[in-house]
Amino acid sequence: MRTLVLILGLAMVSALAACGGDAGEVTPGAPYIGGPAIPGRLWPTFAVSRDTGKSWMAADAKNAGELLFESDPNTGNVDIFSLPDLTPKGRLTGFNVPLGECSDVHGNVWIVNFASNELDEYSHAGRLLSKIASPTYYLWSCAVSPRDGAIVITVINRPHSRPGEVLWYSNASASPRILRNPEQAYDFFATFDPSGTLWVDGSDALGHFLLSKCTARKCATMQLTGGSIFAPGAVAWDDVHGRLVIFDAACRNVGTVCSYPVTIAGVVGSPTFYETHGDAMPCGVRQAALMRAGATLGVVGADNEAGCGSKQSTVDLWAYPKGKKPLNYHKEGTASPFGAAVSVK
């Protein structure tokens, strides 16, 4: 087992090396994450243990209609749950800091393997299908176009505090087209709408929220009206209501987590607020995904309560757009959960 100390702070941090890594392996230091609008609880200091144990999947997992893949950079694992009951159905091991995730129309899930500088593709049944080796460091999350299968990886920022970027792959074996919005210093999460337009949230150099609208050739800032988003969280496409859903980790500039419906014209609607199964607001929902199980439309993802102190982190399922208390939650075995993607068979 190898241990890597990863520091994701609100100030410049020095590069750290992995101990006992494979020959030739290069592990980047932590990225520089600046700006007063990004809550520190989303970027904690933690020791990451790379689990070299064997992956496992329940025999009936492949027949489940929807599965949640939840990454945990603290354990180095990706845990898999059935939906909507959140029953554990598997665990993928061997990652070197798994972060953001995304899924495609075939039910495959792509997982950012941060410290290995790659994007790994897994089937609905948990089988490794392919890998994309990145030409740069600091991969954060991803999205797959439902229209043509294009794959994008968000790079939160680049070495020496250079602005973030988007790597756009027409397919997994192609060379990426590099896209940058000159106004956007940090690129966080992304999603495609049905037309193939890419939406990437992040912030400028001062930490003010930005949303980029991208084609395969360029990205530009989308001007938002009707409301303010303070701290970029997950961005997802709501195909039931035909709009974006953007999560805010500092809703109304305080320590509450909510999501906003946002039209493709940039109009921000009224927020949905999320609560824990206890008596508090969620502490750190880093990435969440929309899901549908029968008549249930919901939001599923991780609440990193451990990032706030001694509380137990959980994986939660909330009704959407109602929000409030979770319909289901799971807390055993979760340490510092981060990424979320729903695989639909």
SS (H, E, C) 289-312: EEEEECCEEEEEEEECHHHHCCCC
What six digits make up the tokens of 152? 């994008």
Query: Is pLDDT of 291 > 80?
Result: yes
Residue ranges and CATH numbers for the domains of the chain are 2-235+325-344 (2.120.10)
Length of the chain: 345
Residues facing 154 on adjacent strands: 141, 166
pLDDT at residue number 47: 47
pLDDT at residue number 20: 30
Q: How confident is the model at residue 307 (pLDDT cuts 50, 70, 90)?
A: low
Mean local confidence (pLDDT), 108-129: 96
pLDDT at residue number 18: 30
CA-to-CA dists, residue 246 to 138, 163, 197, angstroms: 22, 22, 16
Residues facing 269 on adjacent strands: none
Query: Is pLDDT of 148 > 80?
Result: yes
pLDDT at residue number 48: 54
User: Closest by alpha carbon to 71, among 255, 289, 248, 344?
Assistant: 289
Mean local confidence (pLDDT), 277-300: 80
pLDDT at residue number 16: 26
The separation between CA 47 and the C-alpha centre of its own chain, rounded to angstroms, equals 19
What whole-number distance in Å separates Cα of residue 178 and Cα of residue 330? 38
What six digits make up the tokens of 75? 């354990």
Query: Is pLDDT of 89 > 90?
Result: yes
Task: For the sheet with 232-238, list strands across it.
Answer: 232-238, 243-248, 258-262, 272-273
Q: For 4-53, how does the pLDDT look when each residue is reduced to its tens digit (9 = 90+)?
A: 333 333 222 222 223 233 333 334 455 544 444 455 555 534 445 566 68
Mean local confidence (pLDDT), 124-129: 96
pLDDT at residue number 42: 53
Mean local confidence (pLDDT), 225-232: 92
pLDDT at residue number 135: 85
pLDDT at residue number 152: 98
Matching residue, tokens 């972060």 = 99
**Residue 160 burial (10 A CB sphere; 0-12, 13-18, 19+):** exposed
Contact 98, 339 (CB under 8 A): yes
The better pLDDT of the pair 25, 242 is held by 242
The better pLDDT of the pair 212, 137 is held by 212
Mean local confidence (pLDDT), 108-127: 96
pLDDT at residue number 10: 27
What whole-number distance in Å separates Cα of residue 185 and Cα of residue 179? 12
DSSP letters, 176-194, are: PEEE--TT-SEEEEEEE-T
Query: Is pLDDT of 282 > 80?
Result: no
CA-to-CA dists, residue 326 to 279, 282, 285, angstroms: 12, 10, 13
Query: Is pLDDT of 150 > 70?
Result: yes
Summary mean pLDDT of the chain: 83
User: Closest by alpha carbon to 186, among 168, 211, 167?
Assistant: 211
Main-chain dihedrals φ then ψ at residue 139, nearest 5 degrees: -65, 140
Q: Three-state DSSP class for 155?
A: strand
pLDDT at residue number 293: 64
Those residues whose C-beta lies under 8 Å from the C-beta of residue 147, and which sit 6 or more positions away, are: 192, 194, 195, 196
Q: For 243-261, how does the pLDDT look when each residue is reduced to its tens digit (9 = 90+)?
A: 999 999 888 877 678 999 9
Q: For 64-87, how does the pLDDT look when each residue is reduced to its tens digit (9 = 90+)?
A: 999 999 998 888 899 999 999 999
What six digits make up the tokens of 35? 């700006």
Q: For 157-196, how does the pLDDT look when each residue is reduced to its tens digit (9 = 90+)?
A: 876 678 899 999 999 999 999 999 999 999 999 999 999 9
pLDDT at residue number 60: 93
Contact 190, 200 (CB under 8 A): yes
Q: Three-state DSSP class for 217?
A: coil
